Amino acid sequence: MPFCYNNNYCYFIKSKKIVITKLFRDLIQRLREIASIKGYNENTRRLLIYIRLKLLLPPHSKLKPSFQSAPWRLPYEKLTLTLQMALPNQQTVDYPSFKLVIVGDGGTGKTTFVKRHLTGEFEKKYEPTIGVEVHPLDFFTNCGKIRFYCWDTAGQEKFGGLRDGYYIHGQCAIIMFDVTARLTYKNVPTWHRDLCRVCENIPIVLCGNKVDVKNRQVKAKQVTFHRKKNLQYYEISAKSNYNFEKPFLYLARKLAGDVNLHFVESPALAPPEVQIDMAAQAHHEAELAAAAAQPLPDDDDDTFE
């Protein structure tokens, strides 16, 4: 059974040619780049063994019958390998699961945000190789159950950025900033650039957190980065649970390719720690909608008045 290292990485088994898809080629290329990095050798070995076993097995799917015709059937099957690499110590589940990376400056509320989901907090895992906490957050949709493996930085961003191992194989992302701290919004382009350098063409949500705080420094009309990069933007309050589900619903719809997908059951969330002024927030949302109708400022015009 010869292994042919040509452009398609063809593997011949019993006279049948199985072509490894672009996903596998990308994985192999990335493995070459990170194989020499300390801490990745074991994961590299795991992945190469998995690829070889995968090629020897007949095509199969662990999907439940209700998902056989679901719009994310194909991406789910392709992402089985991704989860094996991203979560070597985590058991995969028999329903669609996606790696969600959450980035942003330290103190913007990323950890508080993922901990609102009680099931995810209870089942979280620490991955020492990468130095992150992984929170499995389950949601119930009209197409069935899905899971987001939410990667939390565990404070690594305080040391000047994140390793590529945090981003690699990410299938969707949330970039978070603090509306009470201008610098955290100023740094959003840097986080976006680092994310897109490793994860190309994935759905991304920009979230402005802590809208429950009255002394807001980043006004709704000043938030324009999402329009420049074609991202979805939501104002949230992690401590009050305000708009908690919206980023996940948007990402689920994008991953499924179904704008009609919706949640049929609310997740178990921790009780709100603060109350949000809904009248004030309605004003901010109206301001945001009005700003969306205005021409985009130049890149150098993102000033705070």
Query: Do 113 and 17 belong together in one domain?
Result: no
Query: Do 3 and 148 belong together in one domain?
Result: no
The secondary structure element, H or E, covering residue 196 is helix 188-198
Per the structure, the complete domain to which residue 7 belongs is given by 1-60
Give the pTM.
0.69
Query: Do 117 and 224 belong together in one domain?
Result: yes
Q: Which of 60, 86, 111 is the last residue of a domain?
A: 60
Strand partners, 209: 178
Distance from C-alpha of 248 to C-alpha of 173, rounded to nearest angstrom: 10
- Give how far Cα 77 sits from Cα of 54, 74, 150, 276, Å: 12, 5, 19, 41
Query: Do 44 and 108 belong together in one domain?
Result: no
Q: Mean pLDDT of residues grouped by 10 in the chain (305 residues)?
A: 38 41 57 48 52 46 38 44 48 82 92 86 62 88 94 71 81 96 95 92 96 91 93 94 95 95 91 87 84 73 50
For residue 113, the model assigns a pLDDT of 93
Query: Do 202 and 231 belong together in one domain?
Result: yes
For residue 285, the model assigns a pLDDT of 85
For residue 76, the model assigns a pLDDT of 44
Q: Read off the CATH number of the domain in which 94 is found.
A: 3.40.50.300
For residue 126, the model assigns a pLDDT of 58
Query: Do 54 and 82 belong together in one domain?
Result: no
And the tokens for 290? 């009005």
Query: Do 40 and 107 belong together in one domain?
Result: no
**Residue 305 included in any domain:** no
For residue 203, the model assigns a pLDDT of 97
